[in-house]
Structure 1
Amino acid sequence: MARSGNFVFVGGTDGIGRAAALNVARHGSSILLVARNEDRGAAAVDAMLDAGARDAAFLKADLSTIAGAAAAAQGIKLWRPAIHGLMHSAMSAFSSKTVTTDGLEFAFALQYLARAIVNRLCADALAASGDGRIIHLAGAVPYRMAAPDLDDLQFERRKWSFFKAILTTHVQGFLFLDEASRRWADRQIGLYATGVGSTRTKAMLDPAMPLIMRIMGRFGTTAEKSAVNATRLLLDEAPPAMQAAIFKNPKSFTPAPFDLPTQEAEQLWDITTALASSKGVYLP
């Protein structure tokens, strides 16, 4: 039996996030979609209502900045005081190193920092539901393949590359989820990452994506198939036995522990706190 409630999809107007949101909408839940494009947001809201959502809304947000991520979290909490599920799937295409207005490397800002800020600011609302679940959509990247350099997260000393930047954001997200599970051990919040393979999405086929990514996207699976594990994590009546886990294989619902260096997870948490504070955003 599937549960229903209040569910937020950051990046849910397109791709895998949209597919998961539609699955949840079919069970009569309330849906909030958080993204940048208002036209796609309006179209996605209509699709959620057509699918059977109890109600649906769109929240415009610029997740590339610290202030924008904090504003998104505030909007989420104003939408509903209790959140049953919060899924992150926002990503963007870029062919060269891009720096945000905060002076941060773009992939780090969008695909790690925004997720961490929204999660931490929404933790009370997730706990208030009695069974709040955070879902990070990610590639199942092994730590050894893309261990982040915590002394050079913005690629100021190292040479930037698309794959190095993208892959390390996945590992950074895993470090966040693992550390949050320790800090929130007494709270009713589940923290999960679900791995996906190549998928035919708008972002993957964007001309700004490296050619190999566009080829992978063209021959990849559908967003609906890649959304299966995320949908189950959000809707299953009982959460997985582990408070924090990664589901590496998108074709099977098999949880595994993160198994990451605790000291690095703690350090990244503190770095995140300091970065947010430098822009006047104070994280719990």
Structure 2
Amino acid sequence: MPERFVTPFTAASTAADVVAGVDLTGRRAVVTGGASGIGIETARALASAGAEVTIAVRNVADGARVADDLIAATGNKAVHVGYLDLADPATVAAFVAGWEGPLHILVNNAGVMAAPLGRTPEGWEMQFATNHLGHFALATGLHRALAAAGGARVVAVSSSAHLRSPVVLDDIHFNHREYEPWSAYGQSKTANVLFAVEGSRRWADDGITVNALHPGGIRTNLQRYVSEEDLERARRAAGAGGASWRTPEQGAATSVLLAASPLLTGVAGRYFEDCNEALPNEQGTRTGVAPYALDPSAAARLWELSVR
């Protein structure tokens, strides 16, 4: 096993702290879900460091308002909006087809959490379709642009909820087992980590690194399907900042670290939390990374299944 990767940053660090002194001039970034929650703060930090940022969103009007705010706040006029619905393969394909030139940073940030059972027209379970399959199609579709960038980074926003479930490869879409929203969310977040493991292996020769992360406990629109009681219980179980939630600025810090910090050059296929590589999960706790999320054989199987 490679030595655990640590940085000077902590759970209290913000995206601005992480990107301070970093110059991203000439770099191009895409942030999915960049019009809300930690997506806004991720885009803000990248734009403030000089990157050209495209926020890929379902609601283009909301995206345009956020882009205008980011331009005003950062002075960087190169903030754009693209239409993307991760649960709709046609919009993912259209976004990919419309992309021209290299792509240096892809932050797979958008997601849906603990939603009631829903299915895409293809019959795919909605959380898995959105959180994993849509992002998988986006990243693989943009592979050529990432390879052209030289040293590109892909960032997969996972969650400590991956500890709730491995990817059940024999029944991903809950066709033969009872649907449970948190288990479905958990397996989709495990899939994000497995994507980082296999993506880093497959794309190493292209100079592309892929890492996954848990952003911490943050109150955002992501939790629209979750009750206050469930949120509070999850926060306590995860040890998310003691008695308080993290700010979106703190929640975006680990994403921005993986996307932009020179400290992460060449680091790939790992899972981070609190701006540092996570330790192995200890049974009974809600921190660290589960062994099944880093399993190379499961990662390879999931990749092939995702292609199909």
TM over 0.5: yes
2:254 aligns with 229
- In the alignment, the residues of structure 2 paired with residue 95 and residue 193 of structure 1 have an alpha-carbon distance, to the nearest angstrom, of 22
- In the alignment, the residues of structure 1 paired with residue 189 and residue 257 of structure 2 have an alpha-carbon distance, to the nearest angstrom, of 21
Native 8 Å contact 1:62 1:68 kept in 2: yes
Q: Relative to structure 1, is the Cα distance of residues 238 and 131 closer, same or farther in structure 2, using a 3 angstrom cutoff?
A: farther
Native 8 Å contact 2:153 2:208 kept in 1: yes
- In the alignment, the residues of structure 1 paired with residue 34 and residue 196 of structure 2 have an alpha-carbon distance, to the nearest angstrom, of 20
SS in 1 for 2:276: coil
Gaps in structure 2 of 5+ consecutive residues: 1-20, 236-242, 281-288
* Equivalence map 1:271-282=2 (5 Å): 271-274=305-308
Native 8 Å contact 1:133 1:191 kept in 2: yes
1:281 aligns with none
Q: Deviations over 1:66-110 (max 9, x none)?
A: 2222222223x23xx111111011123564211112211000100
Residue number among 143, 147, 166 corresponding to 2:166 in the alignment: 147
Amino acid corresponding to residue 57 of structure 1 in structure 2:
H
**Pair 1:55 & 2:78 matched:** yes
1:280 aligns with none
SS in 2 for 1:198: coil
Q: Deviations over 1:9-45 (max 9, x none)?
A: 0111110111111011112221101011122111111
Larger deviation: 8-17 or 95-104? 95-104
Residue number among 93, 105, 115 corresponding to 2:125 in the alignment: 105
Percent identity between matched residues is: 25
How far residue 131 of structure 1 moved from its aligned partner, in angstroms, is 1.5
2:213 aligns with 194
SS in 2 for 1:244: coil
Residue number among 177, 181, 194 corresponding to 1:162 in the alignment: 181
How far residue 261 of structure 1 moved from its aligned partner, in angstroms, is 2.5
Larger deviation: 150-159 or 182-191? 182-191
Residue number among 81, 102, 112 corresponding to 1:82 in the alignment: 102
1:133 aligns with 153
- In the alignment, the residues of structure 1 paired with residue 254 and residue 222 of structure 2 have an alpha-carbon distance, to the nearest angstrom, of 20
2:195 aligns with 176
Gaps in structure 1 of 5+ consecutive residues: 275-284
Q: Deviations over 1:162-188 (max 9, x none)?
A: 110001111111111111111112111
- In the alignment, the residues of structure 1 paired with residue 49 and residue 228 of structure 2 have an alpha-carbon distance, to the nearest angstrom, of 38
- Paired residues in the alignment total 266
Q: Deviations over 1:105-153 (max 9, x none)?
A: 000100010111111111111121112111111213566x411111101
SS in 1 for 2:216: coil
Native 8 Å contact 2:32 2:57 kept in 1: yes
